[in-house]
Structure 1
Amino acid sequence: MTQPASELYLISPLDVSGTFPERLVRALDAGPVAAFQFRVKDVDDHAAARLAEPLQRICADRDVAFIVNDSVSLAKRLGADGVHLGQKDGDPQEARQRLGRDAQIGVTCHASRHLAMEAGEAGADYVAFGAFFPSTTKETEHRPEPDLLTWWSTLFELPCVAIGGITAANCAPLVTAGADFLAVSNAVWGGDEAQGVRDLLAAIAAAPRREEDE
């Protein structure tokens, strides 16, 4: 059977003030987006919640999952759809206890099969691998190969997210390898956000699919 195409998972820039809500509307209205991750740094939960609330409404109106990066406490305060945890941001089981059974909990697993299997056993809803390419958004220490996505998607039903420097020009091997979601930031927010989404969706649709035995 033919693998389904990857879906888009947008990650916010660090600055979501000013006109960013209007940019988010343009991006989400440009084509189907599965999730939006709210990622800000060096602000307290009160300030972060104030920034997040209009973005959360925009996502809710379009049935886009609103995921909070790093902070379980902020995710709980906002009633967010879920939280994305780095390896130092907490335990998925504890996050589940605090956020409830319906929350989407993702875990960064870098290039590690072991960390991904541990996250799955701890109840994560998805695992994220990367960075697959050099990223302008954050420093990257780990550089997995696309075959990690193939290995994971062949053995496990838990969705996997590819992250790190992904653009319309380079995403095809990740789609072919089996990424359920492509997490992108600068490829959208670094220019015209609506065109960025359209270009990524077109590239996903054009990527060769990995054929599997029935």
Structure 2
Amino acid sequence: MAETEQPQLYLVTPDRFELSTFKTQLEAVLAAHDVACVRLALASTDAAEIGRAADGLRDMCHARDVALVITDHWRLVRHHGLDGVHLTDGTRSLRDARADLGSDAIVGCYCENSRHAGMNAGEAGADYVAFGPMTPDPLLGKGEVADAELFQWWSQMIEVPVVAEGGLTRETIVSLRDHTDFWAVGREIWASDDPATALADLIA
């Protein structure tokens, strides 16, 4: 039997940051690790602020062949040369986003811990589904976690790639490494003075 392919890294930015400082941090992480995708996840609803951040990170990511997607604001994808969108409203805007962005764009969907929502997203054309949180987090769910059984079932039954996100720990990484396609890592590392080393420690 062939060796199981290891999950890829998917970085999630902080929900607020000073651009020049964060670019330095991100550059260090991208230089130290093989990252597949970065998600711009600003909490701001200011299109100009989000656009400046997107423009500031885009060339850095693309220079390393790393996809850059944005949380929810799919109408900004084309204007800022991004690779796609990560939707947090289930499938409510998925079809509109896909119709606008076309088949080449990445359209992912956060589905909390719901198999039903995940299957609906896959049927609606999502390129990936994300389940979480992996540990209790009121910002990423209703207090219920996405457990290992969900990922095991998904990996056996569904072909759509799956992302694990929200409070990743070494223990969850060990338990899920054969059942997920991506680790979405964000707050786990950005509070550190050395995010690149924090990421290395997390996935060691």
- Give the TM-score taking structure 1 as reference length: 0.87
Matched to 1:6, the amino acid is P
After superposing on structure 2, the runs of 4+ consecutive aligned residues of structure 1 that deviate more than 4 Å are none
Residue 15 of structure 1 corresponds to which residue in structure 2?
A: 16
C-alpha separation between the residues in 2 aligned to 1:160 and 1:131? 13
Identity among equivalent positions (%) equals 38
SS of structure 2 residue aligned to 1:119 = helix
Residue 160 of structure 1 corresponds to which residue in structure 2?
A: 162
SS of structure 1 residue aligned to 2:177 = helix
SS of structure 2 residue aligned to 1:24 = helix
Tell which has more relative contact order, 1 or 2 (C-alpha 8 A, sep 6+).
1
Contact 1:96 1:105 in 2 (8 A): yes
Q: Give per-residue Cα distances to partners, 1:82-140, cap 9 Å, x unaligned.
A: 1000126842221111112110110011111111110011000000001111348x353
Residue 183 of structure 1 corresponds to which residue in structure 2?
A: 184
Matched to 1:182, the amino acid is W
C-alpha separation between the residues in 2 aligned to 1:21 and 1:197? 16
Of 122-131 and 190-199, deviating more is 190-199
Q: Give per-residue Cα distances to partners, 1:133-168, cap 9 Å, x unaligned.
A: 1348x3531312111111111111110001110134
C-alpha separation between the residues in 2 aligned to 1:200 and 1:62? 22
Contact 1:38 1:52 in 2 (8 A): yes
Matched to 1:154, the amino acid is Q
Which of these residues, 63, 69, 93, is aligned with residue 95 of structure 2?
Answer: 93
Matched to 1:82, the amino acid is G
Q: Which runs of 5+ in 2 are unaligned?
A: none
Residue 193 of structure 1 corresponds to which residue in structure 2?
A: 195
After superposition, where does 1:24-35 map in structure 2 within 5 Å?
A: 24-35=26-37
C-alpha separation between the residues in 2 aligned to 1:139 and 1:179? 18
Residue 207 of structure 1 corresponds to which residue in structure 2?
A: none
Residue 127 of structure 1 corresponds to which residue in structure 2?
A: 129
Residues 169 and 183 from structure 1, CA distance in 2 versus in 1: closer, same or farther, beyond 3 angstroms?
same
C-alpha separation between the residues in 1 aligned to 2:32 and 2:137? 24
Which of these residues, 87, 103, 106, is aligned with residue 104 of structure 1?
Answer: 106
After superposition, where does 1:43-122 map in structure 2 within 5 Å?
A: 43-87=45-89, 90-122=92-124
- Give the TM-score taking structure 2 as reference length: 0.91
SS of structure 1 residue aligned to 2:14 = coil
Q: Give per-residue Cα distances to partners, 1:19-57, cap 9 Å, x unaligned.
A: 111111001111101110001113311221012211111
Contact 1:67 1:84 in 2 (8 A): yes
Contact 1:70 1:89 in 2 (8 A): no
Matched to 2:111, the amino acid is C
Please report the RMSD computed on the Cα atoms of aligned residues, expressed in angstroms: 1.8
Q: Which runs of 5+ in 1 are unaligned?
A: 203-214
